[in-house]
Homo-oligomer: A and B are copies of this chain.
Amino acid sequence: MSTLELLENHRLFGGWQQRYRHYSSSLNCPMTFSIFLPEPRGTRLPPTLYCLAGLTCTDENFSSKSGAQRVAQQLGILLVMPDTSPRGDKVANDEAYDLGQGAGFYLNATQPPWSEHFRMYDYIQSELPLLIRDNFDIDERQAIMGHSMGGHGALMLALRNPGQFTSASAFAPVVNPCDVPWGQKAFRTYLGQDETQWWQYDSCHLLRCAEHQLPMLIDQGESDQFLAGQLQPERLEAIASEKNYPLTLRIQPGYDHSYFFISSVVEDHLRFHAQFLFD
């Protein structure tokens, strides 16, 4: 079993904000994640909410800028904030901000040199939940949310594992990566030219094929600079509407793609997940 090395420990809103390093067998390198542990209340163990960040981010962006911990403490939810890719001198990289380190896209790469380390799907879906379960006192229920590339990750992981997560939500997610520049560039690089291999990571495709339902909430800023070119959440909403799938899309006038947007709506997302995590 992987050993956790405590890097930081800060009291926050009555709970504890911590950072850990561990060796990841999925990613074949050391990884760092952040976690918020709410102060225990009574005997009820906290369920877990995974918070997946976007391009260029580490585990620290959501930790320091979202303000989610205030509400997580109120509700008694444990937050896990992973990094967005494998890291290190020995890990393949690219000069572009939307490829390589900081841009793992929550998939398992099949193309060299990426396939040696870039297995974020396995890391988030399997390795990290087991690590959390083995090292912290938690309830078994899990929910997942994310921002932008991390919104893609959250929706995609939930659609593929509807029995694992009670609910999923996203801020400004990439919902149809097969058909937008960020996704096409990443998928071609990590997964190769065969587009049939891309579908397993595309929320629009997955939702069209979904046999099981779980509640979903998406918030999208109307002044987001990436809305028209990369995001277009109405594509996912249209499929959900056809299938009578429980997806709520909210368009928020004036908001952009930044953490200022996330922090403005994150309380709603935690309260949304709490309905199902404590059902």
Binding site for B on A (CB under 8 A): 10-14, 17, 64-65, 67, 70, 221, 223, 252-256, 258-261, 263-264
Contacts and interface: CB of A to CB of B under 8 A. Distances in A.
B12 A264 contact: yes
A247 B256 CA distance: 41
Stoichiometry, as copies per complex, reads 2
Contacts of A223: 11
Nearest to A256: B10
B64 A17 contact: no
B67 A264 contact: no
Nearest to A73: B264
Given A254-B11, A264-B12, A264-B14, A259 B64 contact: yes
Contacts of A17: 260
B70 A263 contact: yes
Nearest to A64: B65
A57 to B, nearest CB: 13
Contacts of A255: 10-11
27 contacts: A10-B255, A10-B256, A10-B258, A10-B260, A10-B261, A11-B252, A11-B253, A11-B254, A11-B255, A11-B256, A11-B260, A11-B261, A11-B264, A12-B260, A12-B261, A12-B263, A12-B264, A13-B263, A13-B264, A14-B264, A17-B260, A64-B65, A64-B260, A65-B65, A67-B67, A67-B70, A67-B263
Nearest to A66: B67
A12 B266 CA distance: 12
Task: Name the residue among A12, A13, A14, A221 with the largest chain B CB count within 10 angstroms.
Answer: A12
Nearest to A65: B64
A221 to B, nearest CB: 7
Nearest to A221: B11
A253 to B, nearest CB: 8
